[in-house]
Amino acid sequence: MVDALARALGPSAVTAIVNVGDDLEFLGLQVSPDLDTVVYTLAGLLDEERGWGVRDETTNALATAERLGGESWFMLGDRDIGLHLVRTSALRSGEPLSTVTARISAALGVETRLLPACDERVRTMVATPAGELDFQSWFVGRRHTDPVVGVRFEGAGAASPAPGVLQALAEADRVLIAPSNPFVSIDPILAVPGIRAAVAERRMDAVAVSPIVGGRALRGPLAEMLGGLGHEPSALGVARLYADLVSTFVLDPADAVLVPTIEALGLRAVVVPTVMVDPLEREEIGRGVVEALT
């Protein structure tokens, strides 16, 4: 959605505040999968088939690490590792994540501003019947097969919004909550003290885009998670979660039937295509969303 908006509005008109709760330390590398997916997408480097990592990638480092008995359950390509090495060295030398991110973005020609939610370490921890797991161990390591009975954000209480985050939220024409998983992608951002309040402050200009279309998640196990955590597994269930933060809810034509129920929550419901099957559709989807909100 960041790319869609950046294409529709121009790359420097958008600031993306990105989740760091999915970050992990793997083979001694500081990996920030959400930041990296956004930066690779905006830089035109993303492997669009897989939806993560760099295109034309090789995996010789990880294959060697595996042969030598090192960790190998998380997939890192060689080009990707080049980025992680630069970030890890910078963080170890004391550079904040937000500064490293800005440097990496600039080096890749990305004009959209990317801000991690915070510079501190926050880890999304998922409670399952098999015990608590960090996000990536649950999502990648165990292929999100364990039902989720709770989520918490380790370290969030002691974190502060990264430089620029509160200002961006205060000054933006619109605040848009992307169609991501509310529990494990959006909540870890909102859990950083000050961010939820800053979004709520902008409620009249704030918009959420439904990550559920026709009862199915655009990506990942969100529908199951909504059900498991006691919510309705539909765009309506998501709209309820955001009703105190946004005044507008964008949903796909497939869910037009939900408009009255969503408006009954005190939200304006806007119906516009949001499903991007092909990256080439992104600009069109972005324009549609922008026009619908103007």
Provide the binding-site residues for its own copies, judged by CB under 8 A. Answer: 27-29, 54, 57-58, 60-71, 77-83, 85-86, 88-89, 92, 103-104, 107-108
Cβ at position 42, least distance to its own copies in Å: 15
- Give helix 2-9 / helix 33-42 axis angle, nearest 10°: 30
Closer to its own copies by Cβ: residue 78 or 205: 78
- The Cα 240–Cα 244 span in angstroms is 8
Cβ at position 61, least distance to its own copies in Å: 4
Closer to its own copies by Cβ: residue 61 or 133: 61
**φ, ψ at 283 (rounded to 5°):** -60, -40
The answer to whether 248 touches 277, Cβ cutoff 8 Å, is no
The answer to whether 282 touches 4, Cβ cutoff 8 Å, is yes
Cβ at position 213, least distance to its own copies in Å: 35
Closer to its own copies by Cβ: residue 67 or 143: 67
DSSP string, 7-43: HHH-GGG-EEEE--TT-EEETTEEE-HHHHHHHHHHT
- The Cα 256–Cα 27 span in angstroms is 46
Cβ at position 70, least distance to its own copies in Å: 4
- Give helix 97-107 / helix 78-92 axis angle, nearest 10°: 140
Closer to its own copies by Cβ: residue 49 or 56: 56
Cβ at position 47, least distance to its own copies in Å: 13
Closer to its own copies by Cβ: residue 50 or 92: 92
Closer to its own copies by Cβ: residue 71 or 224: 71
- The Cα 270–Cα 252 span in angstroms is 8
Cβ at position 16, least distance to its own copies in Å: 19
Where are any strands of DSSP class E within 156-276? Answer: 175-177, 206-209, 212-213, 216-217, 248-251, 268-271
